Amino acid sequence: MSPPNGPKILDCLRVTVNDVLSRYRQSQPAADEISEHDLYLSPHFDDICFSLGAYVGHRRQGILLTVFSTSTYVAKPDDPRVASGDRQALVSALRCAEDLTFAQEVGLRQITASFDEAPIRGRDIFDTGSSVEDAATLNRKLFDAIMAADCDRQAGLRPWLYCPMGIGGHVDHVTILRIVMSNYDALRAAYRIAYYEDLFYAADWPARISGLNRFRAIVAPLQLRRSYHLIDDIQYKLKLVRLYESQFVEPPTTIAPFTPAQYFSTPAHEAIWTVE
Helix-helix angle 87-106:234-241, to 10 degrees: 150
Q: Residue count at the site for Zn ion (CB under 5 A)? A: 3
Site track for Zn ion across 45-74, x = CB under 5 A = --x---------------------------
Residues 6 or more apart in contact with residue 164 via CB below 8 angstroms: 41, 42, 43, 47, 51, 173, 176, 177, 195, 196, 198
**Which C-beta is closer to Zn ion: that of 54 or that of 190?**
54
Strand partners, 196: 164, 272
Q: In what order do the strands lie in the sheet with 269-275?
A: 109-112, 63-66, 39-42, 160-164, 192-196, 269-275, 224-230
Residue 43 as a binder of Zn ion (CB under 5 A): the answer is yes
Residue 98 as a binder of Zn ion (CB under 5 A): the answer is no
Site track for Zn ion across 127-146, x = CB under 5 A = --------------------
> Candidates 36-44, 86-94, 101-109, 234-242 — which segment interacts with Zn ion by CB under 5 A?
36-44
Residue 116 as a binder of Zn ion (CB under 5 A): the answer is no
**Which C-beta is closer to Zn ion: that of 12 or that of 241?**
241
Q: What phi and psi values does residue 32 have, to the nearest 5 degrees?
A: -105, -30
CB of 50 to Zn ion, least distance (A): 8
**Which C-beta is closer to Zn ion: that of 34 or that of 111?**
111
Residue 95 as a binder of Zn ion (CB under 5 A): the answer is no
Residue pair 63/34 in contact by the 8 Å Cβ criterion: no
Residue 44 as a binder of Zn ion (CB under 5 A): the answer is yes
| 3-class secondary structure, 163 | strand
Strand partners, 228: 271
Residues in the site for Zn ion, rule: CB under 5 A? 43-44, 47
